[in-house]
Structures are given as C-alpha cells and as structure tokens.
C-alpha cells in the first residue's frame, strides 16, 4: 500500500527534479511566499478578501498549480495554507456555481485541483482564522494539520442551500469528529467555534488570532527540518490508518 508514496518520495531527491523559484509563477488569487529561518516553509495565502476568499475555480486552479510547484521545490519541506483574519474561506464561489450542471462539473473534473491539496507529497498545514464554511471547511480538512485562531468558525451550511457537502466533506468530517457530531453539523448547517473544533478533534490547537500564522510556520519549520522522505512516508502511514 506504500508503493505510490514510496515512488513519490523517491522523486523528492531525484536529480531530474529542477529547483524552482516561487517567482517563476504569477498568481492573481493567491500569494506564495517562503518563510522561516531556513526559508524552507511555503506560505500560501488565499487572496480574494472582497469575496471572503470564496473558492472560485480560478483560485483553486492556482492552489493546485502552487502545490505542484512546491512539491518539486527541494528547498521546501512543508506548506502552510491560510486566508485573512476575517475568513480562511467562506465557501465555494456560489455565483460561479449557479449555472454549472452536474455534467459540466463531472466532465470538467471540477475537483481535480482540490485533490492536489490532499494528495500533496509534502505536509500541508491549514492556518484558519475567521470563517471556514462549506468548501472552506473541506479545504481545511484536506490539509494534514489544522491550527485555528480564536475567532475561527467551522461549518457545512450546504443543507441550507438545498445541497450537500462536496469534496469529501461528509467523509472527512465524520472521521475527524465522529458520526453524531458530523450528522448534526451537516443536517442543520450549524457552525462550531474554534474551541469546540479543538474539543471535538477537528483542529490540533487554537491560538490568538494575531499569532496563528506565526505558530503554524513554527510547526512547519520543525517538520521541514526532518528528512523529506521520512516525513512523506510517515504522512502516508497516518493517512492509511484512517482507511
């Protein structure tokens, strides 16, 4: 069961992999920076503040491109994804989705860029301030570790719109907090606070809003200081523990 990640882990030190600078790609909906004393942490910031970081196809395409590039960058050992203090991501872009049929979503492989977050060879930490609703909550759950600011709110409000959580939201939420709580959240659309999310096991730790990203980067630096191959294999082993 380790063969796919084993092959991917070998690529982390394969001589054919070309080191890429972050300046090589220009993004319109996200910001990508290197952080940490060794510049071995990549910080990806969702950057649609006027739309509360609604997850449009253009934004998620850029996230997918960034994840691909960072997985090939030998200097990066861990990735942090964050939003603004007001919103990590308030959900999918409803305006964009209004006229999309199921057939269009299916044939267009609508979730392919989302999958790249969950399938990243390198660990991904979500640093969640403000709203993480619908697709925002699902994106956070695709990450390997979730840190939350004290003002964070998590929820799956899709039922209110007459639909259900996508992108594996129902499965990941159930695994994280248990069937009963997952049922309550998805069937009512009720939100939970950062403190509740920590209590239920959805997030690892909660920090003051202003310190959240700094703390996530500290964690990422520690992870990035270890062997990338060992980290990748450890990550895959834990993920298989959920199967």
Q: Is residue 151 part of a domain?
A: yes
Residues in the chain: 243
Q: Is residue 4 part of a domain?
A: no
158 is known as an active-site residue? yes
Q: Is residue 202 part of a domain?
A: yes
Question: Catalytic one among 54, 87, 138, 216?
Answer: 138
Q: Is residue 15 part of a domain?
A: no
167 is known as an active-site residue? no
Q: Is residue 59 part of a domain?
A: yes
Structure tokens belonging to residue 231: 């980290």
Classify 145 as helix, strand or coil. strand
Question: Catalytic one among 135, 136, 155, 166?
Answer: 135
Question: Catalytic one among 140, 148, 158, 176?
Answer: 158
Rounded CA separation 78/123 (Å): 5
Strands across the sheet containing 145-149: 30-35, 41-46, 78-82, 124-128, 145-149, 205-207
Beta strand pairing call for 145-149 and 124-128: parallel
Structure tokens belonging to residue 50: 């006027």
Q: Is residue 210 part of a domain?
A: yes
Q: What is the CATH number of the domain that holds 38?
A: 3.90.226.10
Q: Could you give the number of structural domains in the chain?
A: 1
Q: Is residue 184 part of a domain?
A: yes
Per-residue pLDDT tens listing for the chain (243 residues): 444 554 455 555 433 333 344 544 689 999 999 999 999 999 999 999 999 999 999 999 999 999 999 999 999 999 999 999 999 999 876 665 556 554 555 455 556 788 999 999 999 999 999 999 999 999 999 999 999 999 999 999 999 989 889 888 999 999 999 999 999 999 999 999 999 999 999 999 999 999 999 999 999 999 999 999 999 999 999 999 876
Classify 2 as helix, strand or coil. coil
Domain that holds residue 185: 21-240
Q: Is residue 118 part of a domain?
A: yes
92 is known as an active-site residue? yes
């Amino acid at each position: 069961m380790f063969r796919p990640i084993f092959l991917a882990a070998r690529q982390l030190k394969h001589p054919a992999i070309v080191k890429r600078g972050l300046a090589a790609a220009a993004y319109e909906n996200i910001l990508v920076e290197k952080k940490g004393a060794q510049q071995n942490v990549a910080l990806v910031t969702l950057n649609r503040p006027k739309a509360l970081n609604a997850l449009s196809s253009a934004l998620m395409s850029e996230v997918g491109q960034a994840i691909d590039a960072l997985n090939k960058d030998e200097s990066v050992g861990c990735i942090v994804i964050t939003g603004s203090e007001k919103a990590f991501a308030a959900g999918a872009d409803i305006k964009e989705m209004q006229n999309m049929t199921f057939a269009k979503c299916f044939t267009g492989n609508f979730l392919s860029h989302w999958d790249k977050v969950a399938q990243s060879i390198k660990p991904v930490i979500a640093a969640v301030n403000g709203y993480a609703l619908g697709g925002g909550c699902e994106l956070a759950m695709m990450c390997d570790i979730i840190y939350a600011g004290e003002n964070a709110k998590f929820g799956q409000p899709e039922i209110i719109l007459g639909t259900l959580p996508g992108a594996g939201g129902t499965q990941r939420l159930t695994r994280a907090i248990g069937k009963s709580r997952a049922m309550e959240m998805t069937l009512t659309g009720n939100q939970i606070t950062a403190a509740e999310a920590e209590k239920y096991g959805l997030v690892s730790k909660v920090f003051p809003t202003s310190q959240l990203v700094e703390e996530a980067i500290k964690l990422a630096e520690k992870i990035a200081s270890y062997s990338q191959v060992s980290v990748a294999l450890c990550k895959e082993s834990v993920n298989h523990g959920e199967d």
